[in-house]
Amino acid sequence: MQTNLEKIRAEAESELAAAKDAADIERWRNKFLGRKDGAVVQILRGLAQMPIDERKAVGEAANSLKVALEAALATKEDAAKREALAGQPESSKVDVTLPGVQPAIGRYHPITQTMREIVGAFSSMGFQAVEGPEVEIDYYNFEALNIPKGHPARDMFDTFWVDYKNDKGERAMLLRTHTSPMQIRVMEKQKPPVRVVVSGKVFRYEATDATHESIFHQVEGLAVDDNLSLADLKGTLYEFARRLFGADRKVRFRCDYFPFVEPGVDMAIDCFNCGGQGCRICKETGWLEIMGAGMVHPSVLERVGYDSKQYTGLAFGIGVERVAMLKYGIDDIRHFYANDMRFLRQF
Return the pLDDT at 141. 93
Return the pLDDT at 188. 95
* Strand locations in 74-189 (E): 128-130, 135-137, 160-161, 173-175
| Cα diameter, the chain | 115
Contact call for residues 311 and 229 (beta carbons, < 8 A): no
User: What is the spatial distance between Cα 33 and Cα 335, in angstroms, rounded to a whole number?
Assistant: 69
Contacts of 240 (CB under 8 A, 6+ apart): 118, 121, 122, 125
Contact call for residues 31 and 39 (beta carbons, < 8 A): yes
Return the pLDDT at 41. 74
178-225 pLDDT tens trace: 999 999 999 999 999 999 999 999 999 888 888 888 999 999 999 999
Contact call for residues 296 and 224 (beta carbons, < 8 A): yes
| Cβ atoms within 10 Å, residue 318 | 27
Return the pLDDT at 140. 94
Its CATH architecture, for the domain 110-344, is 2-Layer Sandwich (3.30)
Contacts of 187 (CB under 8 A, 6+ apart): 194, 222, 224, 301, 304, 306
Return the pLDDT at 92. 64
Rounded to two decimals, what is the model's pTM?
Answer: 0.67
Reported as type and span, the H/E element at residue 238 is: helix 230-245
User: What is the spatial distance between Cα 179 and Cα 100, in angstroms, rounded to a whole number?
Assistant: 47
pLDDT under 70: residue ranges of the chain: 1-2, 85, 87-93, 169, 272
Q: Which of 263, 199, 206, 257 is nearest to 229 (CA)?
A: 263
Return the pLDDT at 289. 83
CA 28 from centroid of its chain's CA atoms? 55
Return the pLDDT at 87. 64
